[in-house]
Structure 1
Amino acid sequence: MTGLSVEEAITRAHQEEWARVVASLARRFGDLDVAEDATAEAFVAAVERWPREGVPPSPGGWLATTATRRAIDRLRRESQREAKHRAARIVHDDSPAEPTGAVEDDRLRLVFTCCHPALAMQARVALTLRLLGGLTVGEIARAFLVQETTMARRITRAKVKIKAAHIPYRVPSPDDIRERLVGVLAVVYLVFDEGYLASAGDEAVRVDLSDEAIRLGRLLRTLLPHDGEVAGLLALMLLTDARRSARVSRTRELVTLDEQDRTAWDRDRIAEGNALLHERIKVVAAGGDPPGPYQLQAAINAVHTNAPSSRETDWSSLLALYDQLTLLDPSPIVRLNRAVAVAEVGGPAVGLAEIEPLVAALDGYHAFHAARADLLRRLGRDGDARVAYDRAIGLAGNPAERAYLTRRRDLLAG
């Protein structure tokens, strides 16, 4: 981390090492609270000591060692719990650990532990976002459109249930892995989504999270090379992330898809994503399972990324794909995205008619108000558009997105 200030080094270490340290301690001690608390204490120690002593040559190693010591100290203090003492002594054993799954990766094991079917789906996703991605409770709450206190209780209950049910820390066997896969894919995609467009904080994007999600997607692909939705999720993330460098302007404003410099897109990632999709098309054509939601979303992104320009986007094909996706997932957000495609094919009035009924479900979602504002603007209803932009700006947590919405609002007449 040469050239970084101490504060920047600590921030970078948190982004790069948090999940690795938590997952490593979870494997060693089998206790998520111990793992998370000890890791947090290690970062507190870094904040206190690195300004005086300097950033260590290996920040990750320093944090892991410090967190391990803090965990051992905590377990020793709980002298009445002999089982915990035995767990602490295991740390001093230098013999190789027994295999715990098909893929030897602590973070992937942590994902499967947090996504155990004994937990409610939302709890699985939220807990893994906290422990794997290091997101704050507030950031996770915004991703779920719930109150922060509600999310805090959900995460606490999930950790208590893991401990009480003795849920093992391992990648599951082939017999039960598919039962857990839906939750794992949801976790990985939400981690990616938070990195692609951060819901809070000063950074527009969190490259560490999107890169981590893609890395996990590749590991899942190694684990389940013939699963269509695993391939679809990886393709979706690659095709979306390919546009990363063109999504935020030099003035730190969000650049929408139709205004992006397509020459700045990552062609290697686009090619890899397209290759995964073409492989799935061949499998489906040969009688394989029909495409699932992630494969359809990847196909939607492929239509966008393969268009030479925004004007040449095949909106009719996009609408057909959204029609298929809505049959599988008729959620309000999918219907909102479909309405945008409807507006491009049938005009803004038709799109607005599709969007309006979603207000009850999406009134707290900034993208709903942003899409509605744009359609109102296109219809010449500037007063109504301004109100909708104001609502979207008030709800948006991303600074680049707020800057874009503010500029669009300020361009309205009057």
Structure 2
Amino acid sequence: MLLWGGQSISMAGTELSALALPFVALTMLSASPLQVSLLSAAGYIPHLVASLPVGALVDRRRRRALMVWCNLCQAVVLGSIPFAAAMGALSFAQLYAVALVAALFAVVFDTAYQSYLPTLLRGDQLVEGHGKLGVSMSFATVVGQGGAGGLITVIGAARAVTVDAVSYLVSAVCLMLIKTPEPPPAPRPAGSRLRSDIAEGLRYVFGDPLMRPTVVANALVSAGIGGVWSLWIVYVYRELHWTAAETGICMAISAAGGIAGGLLTKRLTNWLGLPRLMLLSVTGYALDLIPTLVAGPGLAGYVLVTVGHCLAIAVQMAYIAANRSFRQLICPPQLMGRMNATSRWLALGSKPVFAILFGLLATWWGLWATLAVGAVLFSVPTAVLLASPLRSLHEVPVHTGHALRSQEENP
């Protein structure tokens, strides 16, 4: 409950900054679409560079302490934006630097966090746990991005980032209050080196016939998000003539679908099974951009985009919970950190590449055509999963380490 509560508050702050930072660039520095895409890319470059060594290090350390330090450092880094704005010294260089450094700490935190969750939950609780965290993610979008529109309007985009900095402090305190013992890291073989640990994780992820398509599909989803997210904001701002408040309200209302999807994940898993739920729910990404592409300015277009986004996010939240739970259930515990790090390396490391690529495409072809390319890209993960052994899998082959732990805790 402490982890869930702290993460819920931190996610709300992160969602606020996800809308506030592009508006800082747009409204205070008159950014172009390419500059906004570059800002988005800067936030993902550390995932590409640091994820693999971080995964090996996380498997050698206790995760909770790493998470606390990362939260504290992110609070300081993000707090520099409103301070610089108040001093009249805000620049693109600082925005890029903040995005890079905050993302570096996020790499460490998120790898440790996804590896820490199985410490608190049994294997049979993971799906429900990820579903509840998915509810938090959607609720955070309601509070964070819905509140961001109002905060940006009232106090300005730069000052709104302060709320995100404070949310990291709250998350750090919640983590400090957790009393559940964390088992020590598995001992490494004599003479083990960081490079060999990284190689072991890569061999497992790319060599396992079930893990490989699951991770690749997740990476393709993230690539699409990296390409279209910042351009979606620019598109509705410039082509559909939405204000910051209207954009935040749309995201907040849409996130209600994510709350429903997160709450229904456990029931859907019991009905369909985890593999089938993954196969069906990944289609939510391919359908997400269609309402935006056919909508026009005005109330009717606003309602169409909001309703379509709401339904798509409901399906996407089920996919996120199913994908994470499936990976954690089939992964050997001693490889958990490296598996999560490799998955995040592929998923988030692809985002800066696609953010820059789509920024260039938007410059050459225009925003609408580039978002249409993004819709096509989102259909590829479905094809990857359908071409894998997952299409005929009904039950999850839980790794023996998780099964033994569950039996020990429920004799």
TM bucket, shorter chain: 0.3 to 0.5
Q: TM-score, normalised by structure 2?
A: 0.32
Q: TM-score, normalised by structure 1?
A: 0.32
Which of structures 1 and 2 has the larger relative contact order (alpha carbons within 8 angstroms, sep 6+)? Answer: 2
Highest CA radius of gyration, 1 or 2? 1
